[in-house]
Amino acid sequence: MRVYFDNAATTALDPEVLKEMFKVMEGQFGNPSSIHSHGREVRTLIERSRKTIAGLLHTSPAEIFFTSGGTEADNTAIRCGIVDHKLTHAITTKLEHHAVLHTLQAMQRSGVIKLSYADVDSKGNVDYNHVETLLKNNDRSFVSLMHANNELGTLTDIEHVGELCEAYNAMYHSDTVQTVGHYKHDLSKLKLHFMVCAAHKLHGPKGVGFLHINHKVKINPMIYGGSQERNMRGGTENVYGIAGLAKALEMAYAEMDAHQSHIQDLKDYMKAQLEQSVPGVSFNGETDSSKSLYTVLNVSFPEMEMADMLLFNLDIAGISASGGSACSSGTDIGSHVLTAIGANPDRPSVRFSFSKYNTKDEVDYTVAKLKELCAVVI
């Protein structure tokens, strides 16, 4: 059996999305910036896709800008938001994805900003009181706090953070890559200035995503070269990817309740089976389902001599997952997230992340293999 439990890294392309992309590839090849009929036809397709996405998110199509994915969207929001609005202070946590963390740290090193880290607890929950204190003690800030942690699954209350940012006249960016298509976002109510999406996290194609920019925010492009995306992102648009992204998000919204129920059941089932089968197993991140991303289960296994071989042995058994351990020293290459929450560096951790395509049989197979592996190497 081959099992894929690494859906937080990327998801399988949905056949219906592929069908939609093929339809465009076969019949619509014009450059959307061209004024002739071939170009206008493709421009119409892009704007129809933009309108579909905006409608699902309850925002204006004028606030959706297509990008190459989440990393570009995060970088654009952070770099342009801070520089163009002359902000000198930023607030984040040490749990953020490197697309956010490394960007802010680079801006700190170059002297553009002072960077503050909000406290988090051992489950990855953000200390909102500390966020408010940092907002109080600094002039207008740029705040970047992700919606769901990609390693732990712990959710941040982006509604509450948005209200705090509004109260202190701060700019708020949230990396929502793990939650777009898995939760409904109403941008007419959320007090967000920027949010991002990567299509491949919701059964769409790789290499395409979008950045939502609130109409109240004006920034300059990060990528120059043409008038595409209403002068906000130079370069010929990834037409096939955009069509696939719109189709994937449309399907995700139509099937969301059923998929959430199915995946949450799988996650709960695997957690219970592991507790029964592997002595000493524990779980990283928030375990309350209302505070945790339903697609992610981060498992900490007992200390073992060959901890670094656990993922390799799972791969040999046909099981794809990801993970690591906390850094035991400044030179170790480990999980910055597990390190930040104070996880035991001697215990290997594995992130299992689920999709609509996973089954209980796959969970049973994986748990049985983990039981064997832990019994051998402990």
Per annotation, catalytic residue among 80, 197, 327, 374:
327
- pLDDT at position 244 is 98
Residue 375 — pLDDT band, cuts 50, 70, 90?
confident
pTM of the model as a whole? 0.95
Q: Residue 303: pLDDT band by 50, 70, 90 thresholds?
A: confident
Residue-range domains of the chain with CATH: 3-10+255-377 (3.90.1150.10), 15-251 (3.40.640.10)
- Residue 219 predicted with pLDDT over 80: yes
Q: Which helix (H) or strand (E) holds 296?
A: strand 296-300
Task: Of 121, 172, 184, 188, give the one whose Cα is nearest residue 149.
Answer: 121
**Catalytic annotation on 197?**
no
Residue 378's pLDDT is 44
Given strand 194-198, what is the order of strands in its sheet? Answer: 64-67, 209-213, 194-198, 171-174, 142-144, 89-92, 114-117
pLDDT at 306: 65
In the chain, pLDDT over 90 holds for what percent of residues? Answer: 90
Residue 30 to residue 34: CA distance in whole angstroms: 7
Cα maximum dimension of the chain: 68
Choice between 378 and 45, residue whose per-residue pLDDT is larger: 45
**Sheet strands side by side (includes 296-300):** 282-284, 296-300, 349-353, 322-324
Report which residue type is found at 87: L
Question: Given pLDDT bands bounded at 50, 70 and 90, which one contains residue 334?
Answer: confident
